[in-house]
Amino acid sequence: MYIDPCPDPSPCAEIYMDYNATTPLEPEVIQAITEALQDAWGNPSSNYIAGAKAKAMINQSRESVGSMVGGRAEDIIFTSGGTEVFFFVTIVMNATVQGEGHHNGSIACLPHIITSNVEHDSVKLVAEHLQKNGKAGRKHSCKVVTARVEVEDIIAAVRPNTCLISVMLANNETGVIMPLQEICQRVKSLNKQGERLRILLHTDAAQALGKIRVDACELGVDYLTIVGHKFYAPRIGALYVNGPGTKTLLYPMLFGGGQERNFRPGTENTPMIAGLGKAAELVTANLSDYESHMRSIKLYLEERLKAVFKDKICFNSHYPGSDILPNTCNVSILGSGLQGWRVLSNCERLLASVGAACHSVNGHRPSHILLSCGVPTQVAANALRLSVGRGTTKADVDAVVDDLRETVQLLEEAH
């Protein structure tokens, strides 16, 4: 059962539409965390009852998270969150080229990484850091033209020293779903062609999980990022690896007590892992209902926006030929003085954002994601990212659209 993050039913109650930034915990998740805190407080490496309970909870959660992404329990490594996952993967990348993995003796050069220019900063900035500090060769960021990375552009960017391709499964601002399965199929064909470095495939699935079906095996990825707080779980994450250390290379990011099969040592955070596992169970059991509800509410939101603002509305998440997340609506209300930050700061009820929460420190500059997708600067400056959740209702939508209408009217009169 879902808990509304803004439960106040009064006419002036705030309405949350920023579920791509973070989500509240489901009641069942809170219960799982509470039970772990009370009953499984022991060290999971200990043999007494509290430790054994903790170990059992962790094992069950690993099964649940693996099942959610179409993998096995042994494919899951628990992490502090999504940000550390890509750094985890780059350790493999460097070891590969340096000869600790699939080394081709004729290639004595720095590793080459391919990403898109709309990746989350946890991928983008790590790749840039590796290049700047001489740990990787020139990073190739494939440009998106219609918000969707093109398969042929990825393949054309491959070099003899390419060892890692990282493309997000769904964009956090536009909601556009990337053609991951086709990319993986083409790359696996390249990997079969003679002696060359094996190209490893990583995807950041943070925004897709809990909204659309995600099956790592069907996609064909080697690594997949899991972020709990995007699907009503606590702020903890996991790395999916297709056969860690056997079928797919994985090296320790830290050294310590041997937890997580030595790949990610440190005494496990049992309560948060239990919460992640419970949230994964809910996704596996209810995804069809979640997706259907969010899609219905988002479509109603777009209809109401078009009805109220007519030709003053521009949807930045509509691209012919591209599939979109069922909950994400990126929209600009056109007009001078209607910048997204200005509109949101004057709204009485709407809680939303102009883009990724991690970019809020950049001030009022238009989203580089939208600009990269070809959205004109003035339109991008007016963008609002509205993302609905499992508990968002049509009444919420009506209230939000009314709030936006009144706010825009006030700003236009004052301009």
Q: Which residue has the tokens 């954002």?
A: 353
Residue pair 202/86 in contact by the 8 Å Cβ criterion: yes
Q: What is the DSSP string of 162-201?
A: EEEEE--SB-TTT-BBP-HHHHHHHHHHHHTSSS-PPPEE
Distance CA 38, CA 371 (A): 49
Whole-angstrom distance between the N-terminal and C-terminal Cα of the chain? 45
* Nearest Cα residue to 273 out of 86, 64, 83, 69: 64
**Which one of the listed residues 163, 217, 329, 358 is annotated catalytic?**
358
Distance CA 340, CA 248 (A): 44
Burial of 365 (0-12, 13-18, 19+ CB in 10 A): middle
What are the DSSP E strand ranges found in 67-147?
76-79, 112-116, 140-142
Amino acid of residue 201: L
Helix, strand or coil, per DSSP, at residue 18 = strand
**Residue 22 contacts by C-beta under 8 Å, 6 or more apart in sequence?**
229, 230, 235, 357
Q: Which residue has the tokens 């777009």?
A: 302
- Helix, strand, coil fractions of the chain, as percent rounded to 5: 45, 15, 45
Phi, psi torsion values for 142, nearest 5 degrees? -70, 130
Distance CA 303, CA 120 (A): 29
Distance CA 362, CA 241 (A): 33
Strands 76-79 and 237-241: antiparallel
Phi, psi torsion values for 389, nearest 5 degrees? -125, -170
Active site residue 358: yes
Residue pair 415/336 in contact by the 8 Å Cβ criterion: yes
Strands 223-227 and 350-351: unpaired
Active site residues: 358
